[in-house]
Amino acid sequence: MAEIRNYTVNFGPQHPAAHGVLRLILEMDGETVVRADPHVGLLHRATEKLAESKPYNQSIGYMDRLDYVSMMSNEHAYVMAIEKLMGITPPKRAQYIRVMFAEITRILNHLMWLGAHGLDIGAMTVFLYTFRERETLMDAYEAVSGARMHATYFRPGGVYRDLPESMPQYKESPFTDKRKAEELNANRQGSLLDYLQDFTEKFPSCIDDYESLLTENRIWKQRTVGVGIVQSERALQLGFSGPMLRGSGVEWDLRKKQPYEVYDELEFDIPVGKTGDCYDRYLVRMEEMRQSNNIIRQCIQWLQDNPGPVMLDNHKVTPPNREAMKEDMEALIHHFKLFTEGYCVPEGQAYAAVEHPKGEFGVYMVSDGANKPYRVKIRAAGFAHLSAMNEMVKGHMLADVVAIIGTQDIVFGEIDR
């Protein structure tokens, strides 16, 4: 009788559930996974080396392109590292704006994750629902930065500009009649804060809709309960963070344990799981969206009551205002010098980390006193999670590999940077 041997298959990089260009080499015994070997290198863009070759300000846009679903969260860590090296603190209003947009970004990330994860394992409707809410928040991104994705809104010393007092309006077109335009503009009659206030009032019922589709759905639970279990102690050993760690029952969140910006002034809870399976991580992220919605509401209230500057009045770091540039040649020259040559940062080293939607995202920066960093090292949350892929999928069926990739919320831009 011929001996039956294991065989290997490629999962990705072209697979729609590979979330970018992940290549997994799976050793299979029939339909059961014996071993999984993740391969990186297909996307590598040398982001850290590029950052070391440019003035500090010119690399903020690179951060957006790492995890292109959590754009401003990446900027946040990079900008905080520069501020640590320079010993500067942004104005209070800028800190509240940063926190508000960090939580908007968290919701954007989790909506993308939920829609894609659902689609990966056979739930199509939720994908359409989540993108409906993402459009609303993308409009907020565009209102403050002019870009729907790669914002470059956070800057050393504050944020690019204050929140707009009016929202862009839809106009009549061959695709939008007058009645439809009025309907679309109904919540755009006030400021950006009014627009976001309206969103925060509606969003909890949207989360209820997602949960009514999935949380007690028999097929969803069959695909996620007991799949990819990681116990709390092992999750810590593997370097997990974010929902992957909290889903295993470890109450660790940098916003609470190592507060930055104004998180220590806000009220919110840290959701944790029990068994550390795909279903627990799903529940954790769903509750995180509710908590982020609550944080955004608190930020809106504070920002409505407290006007003020959003950028330090330190023109070694920050550009002069546009009115000054029109009247003063020296201010205009300073503007060009700041954006081309940049500024020198004192010698030293700093590590700044944020509670990114996927976990701990950190930037370690070394300065030798020049106008560009001597070293930049990024701590991407997803890299540690991908490293545990073999352990998480071993013994599961091939179909479960898709569920486990989805629960890790992998975006390859930050992993293979």
Q: Are 24 and 38 in contact (CB under 8 A)?
A: yes
Residues 334 and 221: their CA atoms lie apart, in Å, by: 59
Of the two residues 347 and 319, the one the predictor is more confident about is 347
Summarize pLDDT for 2-29 with one digit per residue, the tens: 566 789 998 878 777 777 788 999 999 9
Q: Is the dihedral of CA 229, 234, 239, 242 positive or negative?
A: positive
Rounded to whole angstroms, how far apart are CA atoms 385 and 246?
13
What does pLDDT average to over the chain? Answer: 91
Q: Residue 409: which of 281, 246, 287, 290 has the closest Cα? A: 281
**Which pTM was predicted?**
0.94
Q: State the DSSP string of 193-231.
A: HHHHHHHHHHHHHHHHHHHHHHTT-HHHHHHHTTSS---
**Which of 124-138, 146-160, 289-303, 309-323 has the least mean pLDDT?**
309-323
For residue 321, what are its two tokens?
């205002």
Lowest mean pLDDT among 136-145, 234-243, 313-322: 313-322
The distance between the two most distant Cα atoms of the chain, rounded to a whole number of Å, is 91
Closest CA to 107 of 81, 140, 77: 140
What does the buried/exposed string (b/e) look like for 322-352 if buried means 16 or more CB atoms within 10 Å of the residue's CB?
A: eeebeeeeebeebbeebeeebbbbeeeebeb
Residues 211-237 have pLDDT tens digits of 999 999 999 999 999 999 999 999 999
> What is the model's pLDDT at position 17?
76
Distance CA 363, CA 3 (A): 51
User: What's the confidence (pLDDT) of residue 4?
Assistant: 65
For the segment 305-326, the average pLDDT, to the nearest whole number, is 83
Q: How confident is the model at residue 261 (pLDDT cuts 50, 70, 90)?
A: very high
Measured distance CA(156)–CA(214) in Å, rounded: 41
Instruction: State how far the Cα of 351 lies from the Cα of 374, in Å rounded to an integer.
Output: 14
Q: Which helix (H) or strand (E) holds 56?
A: none
**Architecture of domain 7-414 in this structure:** Orthogonal Bundle (1.10)
Contact (CB, 8 A) for 7 and 28 = yes
Per-residue confidence band for 328, with pLDDT thresholds at 50, 70 and 90: confident
Tell me how far apart the alpha carbons of residues 60 and 385 are, in angstroms, rounded to a whole number: 25
Closest residue by Cα to residue 154 from 197, 96, 209, 198: 96
Token pair, residue 160, equals 């690019």
Closest alpha carbon to 127 in 109, 112, 140: 112
Residue 322's identity, in one-letter code, is R
Q: Is the pLDDT of residue 173 over 90?
A: no
Percentage of residues of the chain with pLDDT beyond 90: 74
Tell me which amino acid residue 294 is. Answer: N
Structure tokens at 374: 């001597």
pLDDT tens per residue across span 22-41: 899 999 998 999 999 999 88
d(Cα 163, Cα 297) in Å, to the nearest integer?
15
Per-residue confidence (pLDDT) for residue 1, from 0 to 100: 47
CA–CA gap between residue 89 and residue 158 (Å, rounded): 8
Of 50, 105, 131, nearest to 292 by C-alpha is: 105
φ/ψ (deg, to 5) at 38? -75, 135
Q: What is the model's pLDDT at position 174?
A: 81
**The tokens 């205009």 sit on which residue?**
332
